[in-house]
Homo-oligomer: A and B are copies of this chain.
Amino acid sequence: MEARHLRYAVALAEHEHFGRAAGALGIAQPPLSKQIADLEREVGARLFDRTRQGVFPTAAGEAFLARARRALDEIAAATVDAGRAARGETGRLRLGFIASALLDPLPGVLSRFGRERPDVRLELHEMATSRSSSALVAGELDVALTLGPPRGAGAEQLVSVPVGRDHVIAVVSAAHPYAGQRSVSAGQLRRQPLIVSAGEDEPAVVAGLRALLGADSSALGGATVARDVHTIIGLAASGVGVGLGPSRMRTVPRPGVRFCEVTPRTPLPDLVLSFAARDRSPVLRAFLDTIRKTCPDVGAALDDRLRPHT
């Protein structure tokens, strides 16, 4: 049995007349008669009563037609759904990210993406850089925001683009002596109780600070260790000491707190967007488009990475 038979039966039921139904189908009457006859033979039951007043479905015909209409609806929906999926309007995007990405690029990216692709199911997984990398390689994530390029086995199958530069800044309470300064020097830091993060950013920040404070980094030994940047800022606000963290923490709105640059400027690993090089998923492409529109300076770099593979 073919979809044609269903379409013909439905048209015949609608027009109650072989000639008119055939006309509506764009075929002549004899082929329609034959197709209906074939259908009835295959089903093993008469589906239509031919009377002088018109052609009407039998009880078996009604039962058949109910299913036929649903089948045709499914077939039509199949094409529509496939098209929507192909254009990336529906589907799923599994995003792995480090916690601090929630500070800067993610809020704008996610709200824009959610507006542009309301029917894409977003799955957000906060995880460390190394786990994101292996999850990407294993196909458990579609895209990731990590600190520095992904590392580990299979990393060469990934495409990575830096989406933002980052460096160490300090945060102090508004009452703190440094609060009025535009920047804080390494020497000033050595004389203060410090607050650093134990989160994903921590090793990078600590490494940066070691470089900043020089051989005499004993100040780090006594540093207060916070769970995340929010805690750093909270502790700094209450005057416990000078908080040190990634420049992205500036975006956390918090009264009674001042952010200062640290001199010399101490770079941190870039925030990096990465995904499987062979992934051609339209949802991913849509997400990359959103990234491109949200982070203007990323556009060219992304195009560079994508061109050679297409």
Q: A interface vs B, CB < 8 Å?
A: 1-4, 6, 42-47, 58-64, 66-68, 70-72, 74-75, 77-79, 81-86, 90-91, 281-283
Contact = CB atoms under 8 A, between A and B. Distances in A.
B83 A45 contact: yes
A66 B81 contact: yes
B6 A44 contact: no
- Residue of A58, A62, A66, A71 with highest tally of chain B CB at under 10 A: A71
A60 B64 CA distance: 30
Contact of A45 (B2, B3, B70, B86): B86
A1 B71 CA distance: 12
Contact of A47 (B64, B66, B71, B82): B82
A1 B59 contact: no
A74 B70 contact: yes
Contacts of A43: 78-79, 82-83
A197 B70 CA distance: 53
A71 B74 CA distance: 5
Contact of A83 (B3, B60, B90, B91): B60
A28 B86 CA distance: 29
A1 to B, nearest CB: 6
A5 to B, nearest CB: 9
Contacts of A85: 45, 58-60, 62-64
Contacts of A283: 59
Given A2-B4, A6-B75, A82 B70 contact: no
Going nearest first, the 10 A-B pairs with the smallest beta carbon separation are A67-B78, A45-B86, A71-B74, A64-B82, A60-B86, A63-B85, A63-B81, A60-B85, A60-B82, A59-B85
Contact of A78 (B64, B77, B84, B91): B64
A59 B282 contact: yes
Nearest to A69: B74
Given A68-B78, A74-B74, A79-B43, A59 B281 contact: yes
Contacts of A72: 71
Contacts of A74: 67-68, 70-71, 74
A179 to B, nearest CB: 52
Contacts of A281: 58-59
A86 B46 CA distance: 8
Contact of A71 (B75, B86, B90): B75
Contacts of A44: 79, 82-83, 86
A281 B63 CA distance: 13
